[in-house]
Structure 1
Amino acid sequence: MNIILLLFVSTLLNISVEAEVISGTVTDENNRPLPGVNITVEGTNTVTQTNFDGKYTIKAEEGDKLVFSYIGYKTAKIKVGDKKVIDVALKPDFTALEEQIVVTGIQNSQLRIRGVATHLPPQRESYNQIEENIFKSTNTTPLSTFSIDVDKASYSNVRRMINNGQKVHKDAVKIEEMLNYFNYDYAQPAGEHPFAIHTAVAETPWNSDTRLVKIALQGKTIPLDDVPASNLVFLLDVSGSMNSQNKLPLLKSAFKLLTAQLREEDKVAIVVYAGAAGVVLPSTKGSDKKAIFEAIDNLSAGGSTAGGEGIELAYKIAQENFIENGNNRVILATDGDFNVGASSDRAMGELIEEKRDTGIFLTALGFGMGNYQDSKLETLAQKGNGNHAYIDTMQEAKRVLGTEFGGTIYTIAKDVKIQVEFNPAKVQAYRLIGYENRLLNNEDFNDDKKDAGELGSGHTVTALYEIIPAGVNSKYLKDIDDLKYSDRKIKSSSEELLTVKFRYQKPEGSKSILITKSLKDEVEPMDADFKFASAVALFGMQLRESEFTNNAPESLVISLADAGRGEDPEGYRAEFIRLVKTVNTGQTMNEE
Structure 2
Amino acid sequence: MRTILFVIGLLLSFGGYAKQGYEVSGKVVDAYTGIALAGVQVSNAVTKEQRLTDDKGNYRIQVQDGKNTLIFSYIGYVGQRIAVNHRSKVDVALVQQNNTLDEVVVTGYERKVKRQTAPMMHFNSAFSGQVSSLYIRGTAYMPNQNQESYRKVKENKFINPLKEPLSTFAADVDVASYSNVRRFINSGSLPDKDAVRVEEMINYFQYKVAGPNSGEPVNIVTELTKAPWNTAHQLMRVTLKAKDMPTAKLKPSNLVFLIDVSGSMMGPGRLPLVKASMKMLVDQLRDIDHVAIVTYAGSAGVKLESTPGDEKMKIKSAIEELEAGGSTAGAAGIKKAYEIAKQQYIKGGNNRIILASDGDFNVGEHSDESMEELIAKESKSAIFLTVLGYGMGNLKDSKMEILADKGHGNYAYIDNISEARKAMVTEFGGTLFTVAKDVKIQVEFNPSYVQAYRLVGYENRMLEAEDFNNDQKMGGDMGVGHVVTALYEIVPIGVESGMVGTVDPLKYQQHANPATGRRNAELATVKFRYKEPEGQKSKLQQKVVGTAVTELNNVSEDLRFATAVAELGLLLRDSDFKQKANFDQLIVRAKASKGKDEEGYRAEFIRMAENARDLSRSKE
Please report the TM-score for the alignment, with normalisation by the length of structure 1.
Answer: 0.82
Distance 2:469 2:457 in 1: 23
Deviation at 1:248, TM superposition (A): 0.3
What is the DSSP-based 3-state SS (H/G/I as helix, E as strand, rest coil) of the residue aligned with 1:406? Answer: helix
Query: 1:110-189 counterparts in 2 under 5 A?
Result: 123-189=146-212
**Correspondent of 1:502 among 491, 507, 528:** 528
**1:355 paired residue number:** 378
Distance 1:185 1:78 in 2: 48
| Residues 271-302 of structure 1: CA deviation (Å, up to 9, x unaligned) | 00000000010000001111101100100000
**2:20 paired residue number:** none
- Stretch deviating more after TM superposition (422-431 or 349-358): 349-358
**1:320 paired residue number:** 343
Query: 1:271-420 counterparts in 2 under 5 A?
Result: 271-420=294-443
**1:536 paired residue number:** 565
**1:99 paired residue number:** 78
What is the DSSP-based 3-state SS (H/G/I as helix, E as strand, rest coil) of the residue aligned with 2:490? Answer: strand
Paired residue total: 506
Distance 1:94 1:587 in 2: 29
* Partner amino acid, structure 1, of 2:585: L
**Correspondent of 2:41 among 53, 70, 73:** 73
Q: 1:91 to 1:432 in 2, by over 3 A?
A: closer
Q: 1:276 to 1:440 in 2, by over 3 A?
A: same
**1:566 paired residue number:** 595
**1:585 paired residue number:** 614
Query: 1:415-564 counterparts in 2 under 5 A?
Result: 415-482=438-505, 484=509, 487-524=513-550, 525-564=554-593
Q: 1:90 to 1:553 in 2, by over 3 A?
A: closer
Distance 1:496 1:464 in 2: 18
Do 1:425 and 1:470's aligned partners in 2 also have CA atoms closer than 8 Å? yes
What is the DSSP-based 3-state SS (H/G/I as helix, E as strand, rest coil) of the residue aligned with 2:73? Answer: helix
Distance 2:563 2:369 in 1: 34
Do 2:330 and 2:363's aligned partners in 1 also have CA atoms closer than 8 Å? yes
Do 2:446 and 2:517's aligned partners in 1 also have CA atoms closer than 8 Å? no
- Stretch deviating more after TM superposition (518-527 or 440-449): 518-527
Do 1:102 and 1:370's aligned partners in 2 also have CA atoms closer than 8 Å? no
| Residues 154-206 of structure 1: CA deviation (Å, up to 9, x unaligned) | 00000000000122100000000000000111111111211110001001111
Distance 1:563 1:150 in 2: 26
Do 1:565 and 1:574's aligned partners in 2 also have CA atoms closer than 8 Å? yes
Distance 1:339 1:475 in 2: 47
* Partner amino acid, structure 2, of 1:102: Q
What is the DSSP-based 3-state SS (H/G/I as helix, E as strand, rest coil) of the residue aligned with 2:78? Answer: helix
**1:266 paired residue number:** 289
Do 2:277 and 2:424's aligned partners in 1 also have CA atoms closer than 8 Å? yes
**Correspondent of 2:266 among 240, 243, 247:** 243
2:217 aligned with 1:218:
no
Do 1:413 and 1:456's aligned partners in 2 also have CA atoms closer than 8 Å? yes
**1:49 paired residue number:** none
Do 1:107 and 1:121's aligned partners in 2 also have CA atoms closer than 8 Å? no
* Partner amino acid, structure 2, of 1:503: R
Distance 2:557 2:383 in 1: 38
Distance 1:121 1:410 in 2: 37
Deviation at 1:562, TM superposition (A): 1.2
Q: 1:472 to 1:122 in 2, by over 3 A?
A: farther
Do 1:103 and 1:122's aligned partners in 2 also have CA atoms closer than 8 Å? no
Deviation at 1:587, TM superposition (A): 2.6
Deviation at 1:553, TM superposition (A): 2.3
* Partner amino acid, structure 1, of 2:514: R
Deviation at 1:73, TM superposition (A): 3.2
* Partner amino acid, structure 2, of 1:158: V
Deviation at 1:549, TM superposition (A): 1.6
Distance 1:328 1:517 in 2: 33
Distance 1:505 1:498 in 2: 24
**1:44 paired residue number:** none
* Partner amino acid, structure 1, of 2:526: V
Do 2:42 and 2:72's aligned partners in 1 also have CA atoms closer than 8 Å? no
Q: 1:99 to 1:553 in 2, by over 3 A?
A: same
Do 1:103 and 1:371's aligned partners in 2 also have CA atoms closer than 8 Å? no
Deviation at 1:75, TM superposition (A): 6.7
Do 2:43 and 2:72's aligned partners in 1 also have CA atoms closer than 8 Å? no
Deviation at 1:554, TM superposition (A): 1.3
Q: 1:181 to 1:270 in 2, by over 3 A?
A: same
Q: 1:581 to 1:247 in 2, by over 3 A?
A: same
Distance 2:341 2:45 in 1: 46
Do 2:219 and 2:241's aligned partners in 1 also have CA atoms closer than 8 Å? yes
Q: Which runs of 5+ in 2 are unaligned?
A: 1-23, 25-38, 54-69, 80-94, 99-122, 128-142
* Identity across matched positions, percent: 49
Do 1:109 and 1:122's aligned partners in 2 also have CA atoms closer than 8 Å? no
* Partner amino acid, structure 1, of 2:328: T
Please report the TM-score for the alignment, with normalisation by the length of structure 2.
Answer: 0.78
| Residues 251-275 of structure 1: CA deviation (Å, up to 9, x unaligned) | 0000000001111010000000000
Deviation at 1:569, TM superposition (A): 1.3
Q: Which has the larger radius of gyration?
A: 2
CA RMSD of aligned residues (A): 2.4
Q: 1:91 to 1:539 in 2, by over 3 A?
A: closer
Distance 2:71 2:484 in 1: 41
